Structure 1
Amino acid sequence: MSVAFRREGDDEHLEPKFELPIPVGPNLVTARGLEMIKGQVAALQNKVAGLTDETALKIAKRDLRYWNTRQSTAELPPVPNGEKVEFGTCVTFLLNGKEKTLSIVGDDEADAAKALISFSAPISRALMGLEPGDYSDFAGKEDAIEILSVAVIG
């Protein structure tokens, strides 16, 4: 029988397991984000210690490698003063006439459903450096953004 028709085993047909992708750029975190990362590391360390299933153990170890890397590379920038939009601020603004409020946080803390937006997101980059009363272009529209207020995330 030809080698082309022979199968070594079921494992050769399984999807490969890749490392979790690390976001490009600095790993800026808020104090809350750093605590979340530490919590993930602790939870995964406990999970790994209790697992016996080989597949589940491989997945948990992969996740632990990701969170250990995120913890070791975390950068806690200085607390902003709240005068302009920066990492670690909550900003209320008008976007094409509709009021929105977003908090600018790190990549791992981002959760659009909770209005926590990564500092690397396009809207965050458009808002950075603006102060209340400032206007900015966004998505090809002139003066699409008007800053109403800026506060430090508490």
Structure 2
Amino acid sequence: MSRAFVKETDGEERADGAPERPISPHPNYVTPAGLAQLQARVAELSAERQRLLGDESVAAKQQLHRIERELRYYDERVISAIPVDPAGQACDRVHFGATVEVEDEAGHVQRYSIVGEDEADAAHGKISWVSPLARALLNAEVGDMVTWKRPAGDKELHILAIHPYR
């Protein structure tokens, strides 16, 4: 068969055919807890990789490819991490690592902690520092009104309090 009809890889795919996980173009700011989470994930994946190395089954090999892909991603995130300790920052303005209490036009009060991309968890009020909500809140002071630009329509938020992240 002619080589003209054989698909060449472009370096983005690995042996299992899955593309690499994309790495964010933003600086990798992390809280101390976020860095610990990344390091724990690397340790967990490394242990799982070691467990799978001796298994020659097809399922184990497929799982090993997936684990190695995840390990490459998390290794890179640990290497590129820029730790920021929120405890050393003043609470007069919203900053990375701060927990912000806001009230919307309907009187609903919410708390959001501004954290690194990998530690964001909206269900627990942890939002990535590059999210539209965090960008609206950053540098605001208590008493300020900020506009959160959303696809569902803009939302006005009143800054009630700024606390250190825990």
Report deviation, 1:16. 2.8
The equivalent residue for 1:70 is 77
The equivalent residue for 1:11 is none
**Which shifted more, 75-84 or 53-62?**
75-84
The equivalent residue for 1:34 is 35
CA contact (8 A) 2:121 2:127 kept: yes
The equivalent residue for 1:137 is 147
Report deviation, 1:141. 4.5
Runs of 4 or more consecutive aligned structure 1 residues displaced over 6 Å after TM superposition: none
SS of residue matched to 2:21: coil
The equivalent residue for 2:24 is 23
The equivalent residue for 1:90 is 99
Matches within 5 A, 1:43-82: 43-51=44-52, 52=55, 53-79=60-86, 80-82=89-91
Counterpart of 1:114, as a letter, is H
TM-score, normalising length: structure 1: 0.85
CA contact (8 A) 2:99 2:165 kept: yes
CA contact (8 A) 2:32 2:85 kept: no
Consecutive unaligned residues in structure 1, runs of 5 or more: 4-14
Report deviation, 1:21. 1.4
The sequence identity of aligned pairs, in percent, is: 33
- CA distance 1:134–1:23, shift in 2 (3 Å): same
CA distance in 2, matches of 1:78, 1:44: 26
The equivalent residue for 2:12 is none
Counterpart of 1:117, as a letter, is I
SS of residue matched to 1:19: coil
SS of residue matched to 2:119: coil
SS of residue matched to 1:108: helix
Report deviation, 1:96. 2.4
Aligned residues: 140
The root-mean-square deviation of aligned C-alpha atoms, in Å, is 1.7
SS of residue matched to 1:84: coil
